[in-house]
Structure 1
């Protein structure tokens, strides 16, 4: 009974934060589910080819009208506003079983303010900027009503912090300060509501086009039974190892993170089963909860969904979605492997054992277990690669029939896998308080749900980087159709194979699961839809005022211009800004305010990295707020299940996540970890080295390797890990990476650079804010095709000319990608020109990997000493480990 009460607390927290705590009764009981289902149907409709086809076949432009992106993002927000008023009580004591009158009023006003935008869409576009138009009073009235309705929806579904951040930036836009003089009420309000640079801007467009469908896909997958399947298969594979339930919890959360959009929901979904088992095997309540929190938080960093932020990162950085997944893959996998290793170290320190396997299972030594685990991992990797390249070959060799081929192959594979699944009992939800004395067989468990992988294969095929690939939204649409088909038919097909011909009953069961998935997916999107609209206000305010420059000045002042201190300040600020926010809103806030700071201040210090690395940096630290006290909501959810202290759970979870906090610093200085300009063989090498390095870092922070570390061993392990992660740091001390050449040689060096080469320069010139002050920054210019010096600079985005023995910058080209320079320098003043002070030319140096040799020799010494000490302390240790 107590366990059920604790679980209900966790579920209530998820509802309060994620989906809304209001459950209606009486005549309005089904109102929220019906609207959610209609919203899901609408989103599937606008993502399909149907609007265009219906317009052509019927001649009715209405079908095209509601599928138009400008209109659909407004309808998307209207659904979110209405459902926010229905599902989230306005204040703590508000009714939860009925809808109060003021919510009906807010629903009406919010809907009318958006319907006005829908009906007047073309009219508003045609008179954009005409603030003297006869309808301007109506426009402003509608805009104010809409902004107030949105603010209340943000408050009730996301809390006060996001309201405060947005309000401060809006106030700055109106009132002004510093170099921004402030906007008039009409201009500011038009910017935020009437055009697509505020509320209805890029974040909301991404939510409408992509995020909804991926969240819906994950929800249908979960309701169809995949969530329970992933938990069971994780326990079957890892439960027999030392601390097996904790290791299984990590894997289960990683698999759930593939489609989950929330670390809090992930914590409750998998933690309901894993946390009690971890406690029974010997972990304390706080450590059991912390393991689940750390693994669920990392799930938000795992491709392909990344808490629904992957699509926004791709949009804001200009990196293709599939390329972004490649960049994010190695850090996510390495982080999870290290967490499993941390759990193993905890199990060794506490001498924990695993759960016994079935009696007829062959007993294997520890080495055999590890070989079996690695073999399984390699087989899965091989199958993934085989599917990837096989489907890619079909797409390239037979483009005309590729879609038909995938449908036929997937259909056959589905029937075969469903037949295998029918030979085994369906998986049932276990009682988390019931003792698990014997693990299920891995093979039997695996066959019960392998067909859940097929929609993921279809999704992969659709977004493969081939000439005729589909957009992420269209790919998600077909994946949703495939998952819907499986949800509706799996019980019918398996029943038929088992001889159960009660088609009506099996269809009703499948229909119920599919409808529940559609409703849950839409309900999960309420806070995301509201968050992206609110983030549009933040992004709009920054684009209008350049407010991030103020944050940059503050960080630069506090850091004293020291690069590493600046990065630490940005990390801490990202943690603070991310507290209490769901993943999508979290990323939008931290990336809008903090990413430009790293770009601008990093360039001044000579740190020039791809924009995607900067956005992943702030995203990582924003997500870590979910387990960072005092607000860490995932820690509170885990503590509600474990009955532990939420603050201690959060602190322990953050200690486990130190390895994750290290990664962003590493991939800023070593972009190989993001597989940027890295080939397949080097990618494998980078993965292996990064995994070893992260495990050594985990051993150092946990104070345990083969046995308890001595102080010098901990220091040495940290030094070895850092060397493996960034050997270039030592190489830079021995041999500087660049030769400095005077700026006057810039044109000659640009002309001599190879086709498609780059040139790193340092620009110096009058500050944008104070012409008597000088500013400087480093740039890495992409020179493009071969040509003379001036042409290659033009291709890089700069117009240059020789002036008084210097190479001066005459301005930016019209299509330049260096627009941020406008905020750094005053251009066009030939009395105090912006000029190239020096050029940095890469030197030929020894391979940085040479420094792996002394690091590995030192590691060998530590292993030798620890193994000997371990045997001396416990002569039977190896036999015990083999028996475990």
Structure 2
């Protein structure tokens, strides 16, 4: 059983994940990039702790860091992957200059109602640089969409039918795009410069702590011996990996390089093995407590706290992974596949000794549930990860020294502050920060202090694509706000669906999947939440279910052919045929195509206005429905199913998933009948043995 080397993983990431396709710089440029990324992260941490800058300064600085580094790291074309050209340096300097313009001219810009000629040129330059940086770091789809929105804003009078508007003159358009907080510097970039960056940094620190590899070891220990064990390992580890990676492709390549060879060795077909990993890795962005970057945008878009979003997404995410788990189980039973042998499993004692590595994940859940802000929770999560790094066996003894030093510093400080009659809450906060700072400084002077520096650099590097995507998304949001396009499109979508909720949901699903093909989830969510989600809300659906609906289908686009990037990356690992891998992944992720309809029609699944008995009933019917659909899709339950049984199983499952008393009764009758028949009829019609092994299994 062989896994991909680091170089092979990077090659696949470059091929299928645009945000990972950065060039390898050398010489003095490499040093500039390294210290630039480090400075970016340190600035963001400083801003988080002190938060003294107004947003009109902070967001341009965040953008300036991103633009300056993107033009050095991302080539203009694939042919320019090697040496930098003169214009790369020029664009990088201009990007930094555009970011610095707001802080340098802050007083003048904040007091003036109109922009000057110089402001106009800077604004034009900012828009062009954002579009080019987005093209390089994210890809053409979102760049083209943002450009079309700008064209729509300017030439509004020439637009046909309901799309027509009075148009926005160039001065007003430039001003709204860069000199207000409704364009490039709007909500998407605000979220990137606060929540998203810190959670990406948290993920980078988790990787350096070794949590990613531990997820694989823990998954193998818990699920490896079960029927079709490696497939279940892939599901379990990918669900956990979603907490440290917001990219479906990155998830596939990192965990898939380990799990896909295991599945192939056991007997799964190449396309099925790749599909399991693609479906599970894509679902990582749906799994709380840390979901995809787009989930953080919901905080600002619908005005609720992140814990409410994460809590609402918990049951749908569990149902999603339950569906994949069941289908891989039925496939393993159909093929007669065993679990992993005892000698193939890691040492259980050693694995369970490292359970402390899960502490940062548990800490994040605790911090979010306790009512702390998302930014504070993320920062405390990073500190928790650093402390967990000190708990490694080779460092454990030193932890006592760090704690002793922290106590030795805190004790006299406490008495000094208390004697000065300073309020207790200030004293307590000072002590907490002092102790954390002491541990942090001690850690940085540890022999492995490089891990912390590398985590800061890696976190900033991961954030560059998000900076570009959210800046371009800000252009789209700004145009929608300026022209009222969102409400126009929402009304036309409802009119097209003749006011029918299910048909409106279907049209919205198609739009989200198409927009999500080749685009990052963040940009996809911004577009669909401003254009499609309002149509659902117009029909009486609450904000949270409507936004989660478009969020789900933007993510599912990664495994939906013909442009299924996560599935294509998985095919690159497995050696399977890409389109077949994508089709299998879409089949395994059938839950993701059904669950959003469920929670729109039945908000109890999101734990909205529900009681424990009603929630329990919804869960029971949902899990039963997923079980029946999974069996019908694979064609196996306790034995191979006849075609009529498969049809009835899928129909019964859909009836159980539809939130209505009559459909539940019909679904339960079909479910019970099929279960009974499965036990009574033990063989196929022609009397062959129940289990037939695949060629690979033989």
TM-score by length of 2: 0.87
Per the alignment, in what secondary structure is the counterpart of residue 156 of structure 1? helix
- Equivalent-residue separation in structure 2 for 1:453 and 1:514 (angstroms): 18
For residue 857 of structure 1, report the CA deviation from its aligned partner: 3.8
Conserved 8 A contact 2:639-2:683? no
In the other structure, the counterpart of 2:346 is 440
- Equivalent-residue separation in structure 2 for 1:458 and 1:27 (angstroms): 40
Conserved 8 A contact 1:357-1:441? no
Conserved 8 A contact 1:489-1:507? no
**1:459 pairs with 2:397:** no
**1:637 pairs with 2:449:** no
Conserved 8 A contact 1:20-1:84? no
In the other structure, the counterpart of 1:710 is 642
For residue 680 of structure 1, report the CA deviation from its aligned partner: 4.2
Kindly provide the CA deviation profile for residues 282-320 of structure 1, in whole angstroms up to 9, marking residues without a partner as x: 111111111000001111111122212221112211222
Conserved 8 A contact 1:19-1:87? no
Conserved 8 A contact 2:62-2:99? no
Quickly say closer, same or farther: Cα 1:514–1:874, change in 2 above 3 A.
farther
Kindly provide the CA deviation profile for residues 782-810 of structure 1, in whole angstroms up to 9, marking residues without a partner as x: xxxxxxxxxxxxxxxxxxxxxxxxxxxxx
Question: Which protein is richer in strand relative to its size?
Answer: 1
**1:614 pairs with 2:546:** yes
Quickly say closer, same or farther: Cα 1:217–1:680, change in 2 above 3 A.
farther
Per the alignment, in what secondary structure is the counterpart of residue 25 of structure 2? coil
In the other structure, the counterpart of 1:576 is 514
Conserved 8 A contact 2:330-2:636? yes
**1:277 pairs with 2:262:** yes
In the other structure, the counterpart of 1:113 is 98
In the other structure, the counterpart of 1:90 is 76
Kindly provide the CA deviation profile for residues 70-97 of structure 1, in whole angstroms up to 9, marking residues without a partner as x: 321111111111111111111111143x
Quickly say closer, same or farther: Cα 1:663–1:285, change in 2 above 3 A.
same
For residue 525 of structure 1, report the CA deviation from its aligned partner: 0.4
- Equivalent-residue separation in structure 1 for 2:602 and 2:613 (angstroms): 17
| 256, 273, 294: which one aligns with 1:288 | 273
Quickly say closer, same or farther: Cα 1:186–1:496, change in 2 above 3 A.
closer
Conserved 8 A contact 1:237-1:442? no
Question: Which protein is richer in helix relative to its size?
Answer: 2
| 525, 533, 545: which one aligns with 1:595 | 533
Q: Which has the larger radius of gyration?
A: 1
Conserved 8 A contact 1:9-1:640? no
Quickly say closer, same or farther: Cα 1:484–1:859, change in 2 above 3 A.
same
Answer 1 or 2: higher relative contact order, Cα 8 Å, separation at least 6.
Answer: 2
For residue 867 of structure 1, report the CA deviation from its aligned partner: 1.7
In the other structure, the counterpart of 1:856 is 668
Conserved 8 A contact 1:257-1:306? yes
Conserved 8 A contact 2:549-2:596? yes
In the other structure, the counterpart of 1:31 is 32
| 387, 395, 412: which one aligns with 1:485 | 387
For residue 510 of structure 1, report the CA deviation from its aligned partner: 3.0
- Equivalent-residue separation in structure 1 for 2:689 and 2:572 (angstroms): 41
- Equivalent-residue separation in structure 2 for 1:716 and 1:230 (angstroms): 38
In the other structure, the counterpart of 2:655 is 723
Counterparts of 1:694-843 in structure 2, within 5 Å, are 694-728=626-660, 730=662
In the other structure, the counterpart of 1:520 is 458
- Equivalent-residue separation in structure 1 for 2:271 and 2:363 (angstroms): 40
In the other structure, the counterpart of 1:148 is 128
- Equivalent-residue separation in structure 1 for 2:281 and 2:670 (angstroms): 35
Quickly say closer, same or farther: Cα 1:169–1:854, change in 2 above 3 A.
closer
- Equivalent-residue separation in structure 1 for 2:176 and 2:135 (angstroms): 22
- Equivalent-residue separation in structure 2 for 1:480 and 1:866 (angstroms): 51
In the other structure, the counterpart of 1:180 is 165
Number of residue pairs the alignment of both structures matches: 641
In the other structure, the counterpart of 1:10 is 12
In the other structure, the counterpart of 1:406 is none
| 56, 67, 76: which one aligns with 1:81 | 67
- Equivalent-residue separation in structure 2 for 1:709 and 1:556 (angstroms): 41
Quickly say closer, same or farther: Cα 1:13–1:484, change in 2 above 3 A.
farther
Conserved 8 A contact 1:254-1:302? yes
Counterparts of 1:612-691 in structure 2, within 5 Å, are 612-691=544-623
**1:868 pairs with 2:680:** yes
Per the alignment, in what secondary structure is the counterpart of residue 300 of structure 1? helix
Per the alignment, in what secondary structure is the counterpart of residue 99 of structure 1? coil
Conserved 8 A contact 1:628-1:650? yes
In the other structure, the counterpart of 1:742 is none
- Equivalent-residue separation in structure 1 for 2:24 and 2:372 (angstroms): 39
Kindly provide the CA deviation profile for residues 663-684 of structure 1, in whole angstroms up to 9, marking residues without a partner as x: 1111111111111112345434
In the other structure, the counterpart of 1:46 is 47
In the other structure, the counterpart of 1:834 is none
Conserved 8 A contact 1:491-1:509? no
- Equivalent-residue separation in structure 1 for 2:81 and 2:657 (angstroms): 54
In the other structure, the counterpart of 1:733 is none
Conserved 8 A contact 2:601-2:659? no
**1:257 pairs with 2:242:** yes
Kindly provide the CA deviation profile for residues 406-446 of structure 1, in whole angstroms up to 9, marking residues without a partner as x: xxxxxxxxxxxxxxxxxxxxxxxxxxxxxxxx212434312
In the other structure, the counterpart of 2:436 is none
**1:239 pairs with 2:205:** no
Deviating more after overlay: 488-497 vs 178-187: 488-497
Kindly provide the CA deviation profile for residues 482-520 of structure 1, in whole angstroms up to 9, marking residues without a partner as x: 2123335636424779xxxxxx99976632322222211
Stretches of structure 2 that go unaligned for 5 or more consecutive residues are: 400-441, 692-698
Stretches of structure 1 that go unaligned for 5 or more consecutive residues are: 52-63, 359-437, 498-503, 731-850, 878-884
Per the alignment, in what secondary structure is the counterpart of residue 283 of structure 1? coil
- Equivalent-residue separation in structure 2 for 1:151 and 1:11 (angstroms): 23
Kindly provide the CA deviation profile for residues 720-753 of structure 1, in whole angstroms up to 9, marking residues without a partner as x: 32333234273xxxxxxxxxxxxxxxxxxxxxxx
Counterparts of 1:261-660 in structure 2, within 5 Å, are 261-358=246-343, 438-448=344-354, 450-465=355-370, 469-487=371-389, 490=392, 492-494=394-396, 510-552=448-490, 555-556=493-494, 558-600=496-538, 603=539, 608-660=540-592
Conserved 8 A contact 2:204-2:456? yes
